[in-house]
């Protein structure tokens, strides 16, 4: 192929619905593949730990239906990565079921539906550790210990391009992926069609968040990436957006400790020498990216463990004196919780909003506090009963805080009659690590089935 065009309609499928106008313009532009990532660890550890999605199934079904109908009409592959937000096995199964139901609903001719799993058995990790393998931590995490593994509910591995390439090789028309690098599904399609890793991985990087690489800002709009043997082009499909040198380069470098590199299973993308050119009003051309293979394949692992049940409450403070002494108010409430439950075995968190007042041109005006504070109180404990009481004491005792120079603070703090509400359980990240593998497919078993109406 001289070039390959991939339409990406959403940077996190299902998180907010695809915008139909720009998507249909993308379809009319004749993509060779329609692809979208559907997951992120930005949503926190809760969905992985509880094995749920962070978005309603109807939103996810909406996006999958738009993509499936268009891809089958055009006769081009559809690729999804990190299904259902986390890419756990149950989320892959959910998406496979939705695709099968949509194919039946639209009476589509039979097509090949490929999928792969990404969950990692804790017993396998334990065995690796027993054999002397160090499960290395990332971003300040220590090497994995038995205790942290015991505290983990669920682990997923982050796939690179390899399972996507394998399923394309097997002739899959639709691919539903487990947890994977955001960029891998796009890069895999380009690599499968013979394009060099240097440009394929950059194509993935620029497409992974869809219209976040365009300006002005507009979430969930479609962009088109086109790779050739010389360059990568990216074009905004929304009539209101453009892919400019500034927007594309800015997106390529965001959220990296080193903005010119991104790591994948098997290597890293080096963007140090990238050159950006505005070739038309809506299109930017990129050259100069380079993929550097690594000597050892290490796969990223994500794991989440349950901390406890959680209750939350909210209160408001408008009295100026109480606002000025809010830290003492919070400490008073903490002492009352400690008097009831001791110093450990639970968590009590306060989030204070409005402390810094109105915003200036660049920084909060710290000497001009807001006229009202909003404080969210969170109580976390092993049981719902204890968490409720921790949150309730932590919230209610702010009403009775004893401050100097006043007889009391009654009336200066207000809270709703419901007081505290049962929230989702609290989870924490237990694994942000990498593990060495002999085969990059080792943790990602692939499967193939048939969906649609058989002749």
| Cβ atoms < 10 Å from Cβ of 359 | 9
100 assigned to some structural domain: yes
SS3 at position 114 = strand
Q: Evaluate whether residue 309 is within a structural domain.
A: yes
Looking at residue 85, its pLDDT comes to 95
| One domain for residues 246 and 181 | yes
- Confidence (pLDDT) at 255: 62
Judge whether 414 lies within some domain.
Answer: yes
| Co-location of 193 and 289 in the same domain | yes
One domain for residues 253 and 337 = no
> Is residue 55 within 8 Å of 15, Cβ to Cβ?
yes
Measured CA to CA, the distance from residue 74 to residue 48 in angstroms comes to 34
Residue 348 maps to which CATH number?
3.30.70.1130
Residue 443 burial (10 A CB sphere; 0-12, 13-18, 19+): buried
- The pair of structure tokens assigned to 402 is 């004893």
> Which parts of the chain sit beneath pLDDT 70?
255-261, 356-370, 406-418
Q: Looking at the structure, tell me whether residues 285 and 307 fall in a common domain.
A: no
CA-wise closest residue to 235 among 253, 213, 202, 267 = 213
267 and 362 assigned to the same domain: no
- Does residue 220 share a domain with residue 84? yes
Q: Torsion-angle region of residue 410: left (phi > 0), alpha (psi -120 to 50) or beta?
A: beta
Instruction: Give pLDDT, residue 359.
Output: 46
**Are 179 and 245 found together in one domain?**
yes
In a domain, 362, yes or no: yes
Residue 132 lies in a domain: no
Which residue segment(s) compose the domain that 383 sits in? 303-428
- Here the tokens at position 290 are 């380079």
Exposure on the CB side of residue 27, measured as CA atoms within 13 A: 18
Backbone angles phi, psi at 236, to 5 degrees: -80, 130
d(CA 214, CA 235): 8
User: What is the distance in angstroms between the CA of the first residue and the CA of the last residue of the chain?
Assistant: 31
Are 216 and 276 members of one domain?
Answer: yes
Neighbours of 369 (CB within 10 A): 18
Does residue 57 lie in a domain region?
A: yes
Cβ atoms of 174 and 114 closer than 8 Å: yes
Q: How many residues does the chain have?
A: 455
* DSSP states along 26-38: HHHT--SEEEEEE
**At CA 138, angle to CA 135 and CA 139, rounded to 5?**
155
152 inside domain? no
For residue 250, the tally of other CB atoms under 10 A from its CB is 14
Strands (DSSP E) along 146-266, which ranges? Answer: 154-157, 174-176, 223-228, 232-236, 261-264
pLDDT for the residue numbered 319: 84
The total of other beta-carbon atoms located within 10 Å of residue 135's CB is 20
Looking at the domain assignment, is residue 135 inside a domain? Answer: no
User: Which CA distances in Å does 129 have to 98, 122, 145, 299?
Assistant: 38, 11, 8, 15
Selection from 257, 291, 289, 254 nearest residue 273 by Cα? 289
Please report the pLDDT score of residue 259 as a whole number: 59
Residues 192 and 287 in one domain: yes
Same domain, yes or no: 262 and 394:
no
pLDDT of residue 454: 83
Considering the domain architecture, whether residues 230 and 171 belong to the same structural domain is answered as yes
319/421 same-domain check: yes
pLDDT score at 435: 95
> Which residues, in sequence order, are bridge partners of residue 328?
none
* Helix-helix angle 326-341:384-396, to 10 degrees: 140
Residue 63 contacts residue 14 (beta carbons within 8 Å): yes
Residue entry with tokens 């947890």: 179
Number of domains within the chain: 2
Q: What residues have CB less than 8 Å from 198, skipping those under 6 apart?
A: 289, 290, 291
- Cα Rg, the chain, nearest whole Å: 25
- Looking up tokens 């082009």 gives 233
């Amino acid at each position: 192929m001289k070039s390959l065009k991939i339409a990406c309609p959403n940077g996190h499928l299902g998180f907010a619905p695809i915008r139909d106008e720009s998507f249909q313009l993308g379809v009319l532009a004749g993509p060779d593949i329609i692809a979208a990532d559907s997951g992120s660890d930005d949503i926190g550890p809760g969905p992985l730990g509880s094995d749920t999605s962070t978005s309603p199934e109807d939103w996810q079904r909406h996006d999958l239906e738009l993509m499936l109908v268009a891809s089958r009409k055009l006769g081009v592959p559809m690729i999804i990565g990190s299904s259902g937000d986390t890419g756990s096995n149950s989320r892959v199964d959910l998406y496979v079921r939705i695709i099968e139901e949509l194919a039946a609903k639209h009476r589509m001719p039979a097509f090949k539906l490929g999928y792969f799993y990404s969950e990692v058995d804790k017993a396998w990790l334990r065995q690796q550790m027993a054999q002397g393998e160090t499960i290395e931590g990332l971003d300040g995490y220590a090497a994995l210990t038995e205790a942290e593994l015991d505290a983990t509910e669920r682990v997923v591995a982050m796939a690179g391009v390899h399972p996507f390439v394998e399923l394309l090789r097997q002739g899959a028309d639709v691919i539903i992926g487990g947890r994977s690098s955001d960029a891998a599904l796009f890069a895999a399609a380009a690599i499968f069609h013979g394009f060099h890793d240097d440009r394929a991985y950059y194509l993935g990087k620029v497409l992974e968040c869809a219209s976040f690489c365009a300006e002005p800002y507009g979430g969930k709009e479609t962009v088109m990436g086109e790779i050739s043997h010389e360059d990568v082009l990216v074009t905004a499909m929304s009539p209101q957006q453009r892919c400019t040198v500034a927007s594309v380069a800015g997106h390529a470098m965001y959220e990296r400790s080193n903005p010119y590199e991104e790591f994948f299973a098997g290597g890293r993308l080096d963007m140090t020498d990238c050159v950006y050119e505005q070739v038309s009003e809506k299109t930017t051309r990129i050259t100069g990216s380079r993929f550097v293979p690594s000597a050892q394949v290490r796969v990223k692992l994500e794991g989440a463990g349950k901390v406890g049940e959680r209750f939350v409450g909210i209160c408001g403070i408008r009295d100026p004196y109480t606002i000025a002494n809010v830290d003492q108010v919070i400490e008073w409430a903490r002492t009352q919780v400690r008097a009831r439950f001791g110093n450990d075995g639970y968590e009590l968190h306060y989030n204070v909003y409005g402390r810094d007042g109105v915003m200036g041109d660049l920084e909060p005006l710290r000497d001009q506090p807001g006229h009202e504070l909003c404080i969210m109180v969170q109580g976390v404990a092993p049981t719902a009963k204890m968490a409720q009481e921790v949150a309730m004491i932590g919230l209610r005792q702010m009403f009775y805080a004893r401050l100097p120079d006043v007889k009391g603070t009654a009336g200066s703090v207000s809270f709703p009659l419901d007081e505290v509400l049962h929230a989702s359980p609290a989870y924490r990240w237990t694994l942000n690590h990498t593990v060495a593998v002999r085969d990059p497919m080792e943790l990602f078993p692939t499967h193939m089935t048939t969906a649609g109406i058989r002749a």
